[in-house]
Structure 1
Amino acid sequence: MNVRRLIPTAALAGAVALGATALTACSGAGATGSKDGKVGVTASFYPMQFLAEQIGKDHVKVDGLTKPGVEPHDLEITPKQTAQLGEADVVVYLKSLQPAVDKAVAQSGVKNIVDAATLTELEVHGSGHEHGAEEGHAEGEGHDHSHGEAGKDPHVWLDPSKYAEIAKGVGAALEKADPDHAADYRKNTDELVGKLTALDTEFKDGLQNTASKTFITTHSAFGYLAERYGLDQEAISGVDPESEPSPARMKELQGLAKQENVSTVFFETLASDKTARTLAADTGLKTDVLDPLEGITDKSQGADYFEVMRSNLKNLQKALGAK
């Protein structure tokens, strides 16, 4: 496991202590995480933050633990952020994606905790062709392309249908936390689910007829998207976008690119594009962006989830030879 993803035990203990202090400072069960009377929501990273904002709208104040430009897998929790967690009315996170967040949430004492991983069925995905130590991978390199509970893939938000299931759960949690505005939360949830259903249709129609079904990307974040739309994902690295692929894996991908009529190697905005560009140069392929939507920055191909997903669709259509 990437050691950068772990927070030291002593630091975690101190952070939890601060969080507990923040909790006792609250004025009882009726306290809210926002001074202006809105429901205080703390979201672990962008896809969870986007749901809370779209469903809560004017009734919530949403704070994100993962700031723009930070790779969420590597997030380390500060004492201030743990205190922020303890003061929230609602916490929305995705268990198994960010180990540091999982630990802090478990210690937060917040009553309304929404774990997106319980709101839809998580699946185990590989990166296409599985490969092991016999191909030159040292044990512990992480080439099983899975993590989390029982090796299940947490990148569910890249499947609009599964993201819609999570949206419904977040909406229900906000209704419970703020029953006075339950009707608004239901209305906003229904609108968001409708938009996600329309996006799903766009992807189905847009990727139905393509010259190739295989795409190569930096890390294996697109298993749900590939499965939903009949594609094959081949990842350079595993779930850690910063891990270095072995020479054997790079050679394997070079052969696969020729065999499967692959035209493009995709990279992403929050991680290094070095390996993607190296592979593309070695195979004479193009490069383009396929964004796993773990965060939005000024480099993103869109301002929000829907805009970036439609950019992803356009880039996939171009790379796969959509007809």
Structure 2
Amino acid sequence: MRCRFVRRWRKGNVLTAAVLAALMIVMAGCGKNEAASGLKDDQMNVVTSFYPVYFLAKSIGGDAVNVVNLIPAGVEPHDWTPKSQDLNTASKAQLLLYNGAGLENWVEDFLQGLPKNSTLKTKAVSDGIKLIEASGEDEEHEGEEHAAEENGAHDVEEHAHEHAGDHDPHTWVSPRSMLVMADNVLKALSEADAAHQADFEANYKVLQERLAKLDGDFTSKLGAVKQKDIVTTHQAFGYLARDYGLNQVAIMGLSPDAEPKAQDLLEIAKFVKANGITYIFFEELVSDELANTLARETGAKTLVLNPAEGLTKAQEKAGDDYVTLMERNLDNLLKALQ
């Protein structure tokens, strides 16, 4: 029997739990072996939804676990949807770690489609982070966008692409949030494999020190800059802005493929000119066309601000990781905000 795979999984076309259950039963007879899925028989298998979660699981799990990441290098997570073999791999693992906060809109149906006797453990690693509402500012930083409105740039958030939930899912872009997420991964790994808890805790201590230093550098260095406004193509830096006292003005919404209105661009251009913004930030995994257009209109330059959603193949080959990406982000932020 030839297996037919689900090619796309879009909002409004989500498979039901019943269909998922039937799909996984069919997949069991498709002849997919453990090697092809990346799973191993002699280690605890941990499946992660995308790179930041993979980084945490790999750093804390170390040699004691086999970590399989669903999204390959160079793929923008907002554009990715799981195929049936991805779901089949996750169902056979011992632990599934995902971001949560509305990022992975396929998880709920997947979990409902698991067999009743499934022993798969799951964890949303963003648990415990105070989430930013997608429809407005976080109450602890409710003035964050007000300055932009007063200077001619209205909140582009109202045009944001809708995620599965009502919150900004980009929790990992703040090192302070990653500290919370790392603790959640440590607890999930220790619960799933208590025999290696001491190893996990030792690895976590090393990672925690790296993330704490990163958080400290962001806090001290960004706290010293006078310019607090950052103009970005993708509204992915809300948690970074909230945690380190910045004001994010985004051209597009929470999804990088959300189309801005012409009026939005005009108002952001006015804001850039009125506030002496010298750099427009763009991302490596999405088109820089809008950033370049705005830069030409305003006389600004462009710089990369990486949301650390994934590594390019070149970055992967060079040995980059979440921390090195965020260190370069800090360097670029300081260059733009001096």
Q: Is the 8 A contact 2:103 2:164 kept in 1?
A: yes
The Cα of 1:276 is off from its aligned counterpart by: 0.9
Matched, 1:303 2:320: yes
Query: What's 2:68 paired with?
Result: 63
Structure 2: distance between partners of 1:320 and 1:145: 28
* 2:49 maps to 1:44: yes
SS at match of 2:215: helix
Change (3 A) 1:203 1:50: same
1:86-97 matches, cutoff 5 A: 86-95=91-100, 96-97=102-103
1:103 aligns with 2:112: no
Aligned to 1:225: 240
> How large is the RMSD of aligned CA atoms in angstroms?
3.0
State the shift of 1:15 in Å: 4.8
Q: What amino acid sits opposite 1:244 in the alignment?
A: E
Whole-Å Cα distance in 2 between the matches of residues 79 and 100 of structure 1? 12
> Which of the residues 111, 118, 143 maps onto 2:127?
118
CA distance in structure 2 between the partners assigned to 1:7 and 1:15 by the alignment: 15
TM-score by length of 1: 0.85
Q: Which moved more, 1:196-205 or 1:106-115?
A: 106-115
- Gaps of at least 5 residues in structure 1 are 26-32
Q: Distance in 2 between matches of 1:107 and 1:4?
A: 15
Q: Distance in 2 between matches of 1:70 and 1:83?
A: 20
Structure 1 residue 7 displacement after superposition = 7.6
**Closer/same/farther in 2, CA of residues 167 and 102 from structure 1, 3 Å limit:** same
Matches of 1:205 and 1:309 in 2, distance apart? 15
Letter in 2 for 1:118: D
Checking the alignment, whether the CA contact within 8 Å between 1:14 and 1:79 is kept in structure 2 is no
Identity %: 36
Secondary structure, counterpart of 1:61 in structure 2: strand
1:53 counterpart residue number: 58
Whichever residue aligns with residue 121 of structure 1, its letter is K
Residue in structure 1 matched with residue 219 of structure 2 by the alignment: 204
| Map of 1:170 onto structure 2 | 185
Q: C-alpha deviations, 1:200-222, integer Å up to 9, x for none?
A: 01111221222311011111110
Instruction: Note the C-alpha offset of 1:110.
Output: 4.8
* Alpha-carbon shift at residue 299 of structure 1 (Å): 5.3
Change (3 A) 1:290 1:67: same
Say whether the 8 Å CA contact 2:27–2:84 is kept in structure 1. no
Tell me the residue number matched to 2:5.
none
Mean Cα deviation higher: 247-256 or 107-116: 107-116
- Give the direction of change, closer, same or farther, for the CA distance of 1:111–1:119 in structure 2 (3 Å limit): farther
Confirm or deny that 1:252 pairs with 2:267.
yes
The letter of the residue matching 1:104 is: F
Q: C-alpha distance in 1, partners of 2:220/2:17?
A: 47
Cα gap change, 1:219 to 1:7, in 2 (>3 Å): same
- How far apart, in 2, do the equivalents of 1:112 and 1:14 lie? 21
- State the secondary structure of the residue aligned to 2:223: coil
**Unaligned stretches of 5+ in structure 2?**
1-7, 31-37, 138-143
Are 1:266 and 1:289, in contact at CA under 8 Å, matched by a contact in 2?
Answer: yes
Deviations 1:22-45 (A, max 9, x none): 7899xxxxxxx9434111010000
The 2-side partners of 1:71 and 1:110 are apart by 30
Contact 2:14 2:106 in 1 (8 A): no
Matched with 2:205 is: 190
Is residue 281 from structure 1 mapped to residue 281 from structure 2 by the alignment?
no
CA–CA distance in structure 1, aligned partners of residues 319 and 214 of structure 2: 15
Q: Which of residues 135, 140, 143 in structure 1 aligns to 2:159?
A: 143
For the Cα contact (< 8 Å) 2:20–2:113, is it kept in 1?
no
Partner in structure 2 of residue 268 of structure 1: 283
CA distance in 1 between partners of 2:308 and 2:85 (Å): 25
SS at structure 2 position matched to 1:245:
coil
Match of 2:140 in 1: none
In structure 1, what residue type is equivalent to 2:159? H
User: CA separation in 2, counterparts of 1:222 and 1:207?
Assistant: 14
TM-score computed with the length of structure 2 as normaliser: 0.81
